[in-house]
């Protein structure tokens, strides 16, 4: 993987999530390379080969944090802070060390169990939380849609260990791909090791977007018989697939008293 230093800034960006004012993405690009990723539509490099990194991220961030009251900073909105190159590059770890030193906490979303390396830092923060995003029950199918991520079970095991370490955990069940993702089964796997589960369907804005072109190619090749059922569901949230799944999830939430945020 080529890591190209860039002078893009600021590192600290506004965050649109509720209860979060700021976010940090230690990498610009993501070698996980999920073919459905909306951020791919604005990719400046081929993420399978080249990812950009902030030059001297800690000095830049330290400067930007000055004068901001300690709070929880979100990491993982645009790109994954624990993509494989983080094992050597340690951009994310450096950010966490700085946040801890300055009295901040981090709320992290990842598809990797590399986060376990940094549990020591997260444990010392006053309000850290970790979420894993998962979308596939079958790892053979996952590999078709996510070029370079790790098995679903490994992500869930990481959540279990993080929760055991006393850090709040969540899951992002996303994207639910109609007729491919078994959301109910994934919720069964995730519920014991998470405090909250957010559920989102695959969202494609425009049929010309790169992520839809990628998806369509895979669906055409691997699931040609399913494509004509999947495509109308992807482009209409009123499709029967979603209304039935919503009803099923609401019933599950009520029957089992699960903390599900259904955003389908």
Asked whether position 23 contacts ligand SF4 by CB under 6 A, the answer is no
Question: Which of 22, 23, 80, 150 contacts ligand SF4 by CB under 6 A?
Answer: 80
How many Å apart are CA 108 and CA 89, to the nearest integer? 18
Q: Does 108 bind ligand SF4 (CB under 6 A)?
A: no
Burial class, 18, CB count within 10 angstroms (exposed 0-12 / middle 13-18 / buried 19+): exposed
- The tokens describing 122, both together, are 């997260």
Window contacting ligand SF4 (CB under 6 A); options: 27-35, 52-60, 64-72, 89-97 = 27-35
Please identify which residue in 15, 24, 28, 30 interacts with ligand SF4, judged by CB under 6 A. 30
Among 72, 79, 91, 129, binds ligand SF4 (CB under 6 A): 79
142 is an interface residue for ligand SF4 by CB under 6 A = no
Residue 77 lies near ligand SF4 (rule: CB under 6 A):
no
- The runs of H, that is alpha helices, within the chain are 57-65, 86-89, 91-101, 119-124, 139-145, 152-164, 183-190, 210-222, 224-234, 240-256
**233 φ/ψ angles, rounded to the nearest 5 degrees:** -70, -40
Site size with ligand SF4, rule: CB under 6 A: 9
171 touching ligand SF4, by CB under 6 A: no
Cα separation of 182 and 185, whole Å? 6
Please check whether residue 40 is in contact with residue 211, taking contact to mean a CB–CB distance below 8 angstroms: yes
The most distant pair of C-alpha atoms in the chain lies apart, rounded to whole Å, by 57
| Subset of residues 32 to 61 that bind ligand SF4, contact rule: CB under 6 A | 32-34, 37, 39
The pattern of x and - marking residues 200 through 239 that bind ligand SF4 according to CB under 6 A reads: ----------------------------------------
Interacting residues toward ligand SF4 by CB under 6 A: 30, 32-34, 37, 39, 79-80, 111
């Amino acid at each position: 993987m080529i890591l190209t230093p860039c002078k893009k800034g600021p590192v600290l960006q506004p965050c649109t999530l509720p209860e979060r004012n700021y976010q940090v993405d230690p990498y610009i690009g993501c070698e996980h390379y999920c073919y459905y990723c909306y951020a791919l539509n604005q990719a400046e490099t081929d993420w399978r080969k080249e990812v950009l990194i902030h030059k001297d991220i800690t000095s830049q961030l330290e400067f930007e944090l000055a004068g901001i009251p300690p709070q929880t900073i979100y990491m993982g909105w645009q790109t994954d802070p624990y993509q494989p190159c983080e094992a050597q590059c340690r951009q994310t770890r450096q950010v966490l060390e700085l946040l801890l030193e300055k009295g901040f906490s981090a709320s992290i979303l990842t598809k990797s169990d590399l986060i376990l390396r940094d549990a020591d830092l997260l444990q010392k923060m006053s309000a850290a939380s970790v979420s894993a995003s998962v979308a596939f029950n079958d790892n053979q199918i996952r590999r078709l849609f996510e070029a370079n991520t790790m098995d679903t079970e490994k992500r869930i095991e990481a959540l279990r260990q993080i929760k055991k370490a006393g850090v709040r955990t969540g899951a992002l069940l996303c994207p639910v791909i109609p007729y491919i993702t078994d959301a109910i089964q994934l919720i069964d796997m995730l519920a014991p090791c998470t405090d909250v589960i957010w559920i989102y369907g695959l969202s494609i804005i425009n049929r010309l977007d790169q992520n839809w072109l990628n998806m369509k190619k895979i669906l055409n090749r691997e699931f040609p018989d399913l494509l004509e059922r999947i495509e109308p569901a992807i482009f209409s949230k009123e499709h029967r697939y979603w209304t039935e799944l919503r009803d099923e999830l609401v019933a599950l939430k009520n029957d089992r008293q699960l903390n599900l945020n259904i955003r389908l």
